[in-house]
Structure 1
Amino acid sequence: MKRNNSIDVMRGLVMIIMPLDHVRDLLHITSLSQSPTDLTTTTPALFFTRWVTHLCAPTFVFLSGTSAFLSMNAKKDLAATRHFLLSRGIWLVLLEFTLVNFGIWFDPHFNVLIFEVIAAIGVGFLILSLLLKLPPRTVGLIGGLIVALHALVSLIPVPENVVLKVLLSLFSPMAFPYGSGKLFLMGYPLVPWLGIMLIGYGAGYFFESTENGQRRIFLKLGLLSLGLFLALRVVNIYGDSVNWATNKNLLYTLLSFVNVTKYPPSLQFCLLFLGIMFLILSRVQGLKNGYVDRISVYGKTPLFYFLVHWYLIHPLVFVMVFLQGFKSSDLVFGSNFGRPKTGSGVELWAIYLIWVFIVLVMYPLCQWYGNYKERHKEQTWLRYI
């Protein structure tokens, strides 16, 4: 299948942005005690450091659905596409609960297991494999209805019991204690993220238009999405679990207005960040220059990048805490990432320096791996990383 350069560039952009949030999570001085989007305690710089990375997950999930459509359309082989989605879906779930979870926590006891974006894409592929006989537009419509209506589930009064809690975890984040002192976190509830993937699959047709056609389509979709977001946000009734409010000054009121809910991804969250994604796609379509070529290097190897970058960032946690005078006996694993309970961390300016360092180090690694995949297409296992 011929690669779609705009998809590689879009993925590359979010791959560049993504480590900023992970570096902040693991290394920032307040990340263990403060939410960067809590307007009562945050600063504008910290808020936007977190907010800009909201673009990453919906873009990954949407384009995963799009890539599935383009692959099936190129092969004209439903059975082969279904087999690939099933096998890749299972593989992604296994990766989530092994290499990814260890990379996040560096805890050999796996006291905390978290279901995040890689598992959400993996299970999404499993479900999408069962829908391939449906017309893509129907699949996209199902996805749109899920994104628009999944919040209504929270309005249904249900008694408290384990079975219903498990079912509700498909719609909203939940925590489940298990074993001896262990915790399973449903960080990316399956249903709303599945909706985004199905929309991406249904939108696959747009990526087969001419370059000019794609520019027009994505510009219209971006403006429509952002227009709907603005309309819903101004009305302040439906589409997000947290309404915006007038704050202590104009800037913080603006922060409140754009402070939409990611966990689970609300309708307004999806409209805002998918709208931004569509506008970027309309700009990068057909764009060719040295910067675009470099950005696409990251976008051609997204899973490789995602796996490796954790193993670059997390050792820096231990470098940081030991340089700050802590001992190995001070380290707390699990939700602390191996950091001491208090007193460790670096300021926001250092977070940006470390982020740039991670992105720069990942470039030659992604370039090498992308070239290796290109030279060894006969090795089918390379399709899975």
Structure 2
Amino acid sequence: MAEASAAGQQAVKVKSRLANIDALRGFVMVLMLLDHLRETWFVNYAVSDPINAATVIPAIGFARFAVSFCAPIFVALTGLGVYLFSMNHTVEETSSYLLKRGLLLVAIELFYLSPLYWGIVPQPTFWLQVIWAIGLSMIALSVLMRLPRPALIAFGLIIVCFHNLLDPVRLTPENPWFPLWAILYQRDVIALPFGFAAKTTYPLLPWLGVISLGYAIGNWFRPDFGTERRQRNLLILGFGMIAAFIVLRMLNVYGDKPWFVVEGDFVRTTISFISMTKYPPSLLFLLPTLGGGALLLVLFEKINDSRLVEALAVFGAAPMFFYLLHLTVLRVLYHSALAIWGPNNGNAYMFDNYHWVLLWYALMIVPLYIPTVWYARLKRRRRDIAWLKYF
């Protein structure tokens, strides 16, 4: 009886240790839907990077900060997930998985996600966005993971903390190094043959640091590490990063473009303080988002039996399926509206009020949840189908 009880307790610990990762991944996927709804139905309202707190609609300003957590947390969890995968696989198997999964993600970005936007933009463009960045980061991690853990941590910290020193380096298209630099750090447009273009929305370099650090903390999630010790480390990490963000942001000298006071408007001043550069992600963009992610991991582990965690874990158990599903549904809805009602803003069909975006956000979560549940259960039930693990 004692052995059975101990085994049961261990199973509960393993479940909570892994369910909180899926729940956090699901949390950022649900947040991501809000930003993609805005980019579909309200893209006529320009949002700069970082946003201009003096002119932005306040609701968009705060929503933009909320969705800022998505990409950093997801990339870090990708690194963490790779470490967990490596616990049951050899280095060669893990490296091979990373290489194949990375190439698949790059192909999905180029040949499926990018064409979803063709016919809207005047020039066929390959949008090198987050899936592209994650794919290349996984390919790079297939090599970086072979480094000793201290070296990998040092590599990640150097990139995350000091990449903003590269901000003044700007190359023009005439420079032979321009395409490589645009992919690595400079958000720009690369001209391609036959009238195509590539938009480097997610420059790669900072994400290499994030995925490396996500992999490096995987050791904390080993079964023998200890729950209290792991949670203590995550709390120290999370609060430490948020404190570092506040100090650096108050100093206003490094890590992002300066924030400013909007005279007589506390709300817009606050928006300015929390508005950071995402493309590429600045140090001050990464500190609160990754720090918040560490705190949420602890929270979701502590409430792992709640319905909230169970629901979020469904999204997190099938993130690529949900990502492709919701973007496809949004494009189908958009083109349907355009065909039925015609353009109402230039050549596009757009909402005239951000409140419609929020309403559609509330309405779409449940319809998207149902097929995601089906796919997550399919992945668990059919582990014999090898390709399912790549989605």
Say whether the fold is shared (TM-score over 0.5).
yes
Separation of aligned partners in 2, 1:342 and 1:305: 26
Separation of aligned partners in 2, 1:158 and 1:343: 36
After superposition, give the CA deviation of every residue in 1:290-344 in whole Å (9 maximum; x if it has no partner): 2211111000000010011111111221343355x42xxx59xxxxxxx743673
Aligned match of 1:363? 369
After superposition, give the CA deviation of every residue in 1:167-197 in whole Å (9 maximum; x if it has no partner): 3211121111223443210011011111111
Structure 2 residue 390 is the aligned partner of structure 1 residue 354: no
Give the CA deviation at 1:153.
1.9
Question: SS in structure 2 opposite 1:134?
Answer: coil
Aligned match of 2:142? 129
Aligned match of 1:243? 258
Give the partner amino acid of 2:324: L
Give the CA deviation at 1:214.
2.5
Quick check: 1:226–1:272 contact (8 Å CA) kept in 2? Answer: yes
The structure 2 residue matched to 1:258, chosen from 252, 271, 274, is 274
Give the partner amino acid of 1:94: A
Structure 2 residue 90 is the aligned partner of structure 1 residue 84: no
Separation of aligned partners in 2, 1:382 and 1:107: 32
Question: SS in structure 1 opposite 2:191?
Answer: strand
Separation of aligned partners in 2, 1:370 and 1:342: 35
Separation of aligned partners in 1, 2:350 and 2:228: 51
Separation of aligned partners in 1, 2:36 and 2:373: 22
Aligned match of 1:114? 127
Aligned match of 1:25? 39
Question: SS in structure 2 opposite 1:130?
Answer: helix
Aligned match of 1:334? none
Q: 1:152 to 1:365 in 2, by over 3 A?
A: same
The structure 2 residue matched to 1:187, chosen from 180, 192, 201, is 201
After superposition, give the CA deviation of every residue in 1:229-254 in whole Å (9 maximum; x if it has no partner): 111111111111x1011113222111
Give the CA deviation at 1:137.
3.3
Q: 1:39 to 1:157 in 2, by over 3 A?
A: closer
Alignment of 1:153-232 (within 5 A): 153-156=166-169, 161-169=174-182, 170-208=184-222, 209-232=225-248
Quick check: 1:61–1:193 contact (8 Å CA) kept in 2? Answer: yes
Quick check: 1:39–1:256 contact (8 Å CA) kept in 2? Answer: yes
Quick check: 2:171–2:178 contact (8 Å CA) kept in 1? Answer: no
Quick check: 1:321–1:345 contact (8 Å CA) kept in 2? Answer: no
Q: 1:343 to 1:296 in 2, by over 3 A?
A: closer
Q: 1:16 to 1:342 in 2, by over 3 A?
A: closer
Give the partner amino acid of 1:247: V
Structure 2-normalised TM-score? Answer: 0.88
Separation of aligned partners in 2, 1:33 and 1:12: 28
After superposition, give the CA deviation of every residue in 1:80-99 in whole Å (9 maximum; x if it has no partner): 11111111111110011112
The structure 1 residue matched to 2:319, chosen from 297, 302, 305, is 302
Aligned match of 2:7? none
The structure 2 residue matched to 1:141, chosen from 154, 172, 175, is 154
RMSD: 2.2
Give the partner amino acid of 2:273: F
Separation of aligned partners in 2, 1:124 and 1:116: 12
Q: 1:70 to 1:49 in 2, by over 3 A?
A: same
Give the CA deviation at 1:33.
4.1
Alignment gaps of 5+ in structure 2: 1-13
Q: 1:149 to 1:247 in 2, by over 3 A?
A: same
Aligned match of 2:46? 34
Identical residues among aligned pairs (%): 29
Quick check: 1:232–1:239 contact (8 Å CA) kept in 2? Answer: yes
* Stretch moving more, 136-145 or 366-375: 136-145
The structure 2 residue matched to 1:44, chosen from 45, 49, 58, is 58
Aligned length: 369
Give the partner amino acid of 1:55: F
Quick check: 2:173–2:179 contact (8 Å CA) kept in 1? Answer: no
Structure 1-normalised TM-score? Answer: 0.90
Aligned match of 2:11? none
Separation of aligned partners in 1, 2:153 and 2:215: 6
Separation of aligned partners in 2, 1:89 and 1:369: 21
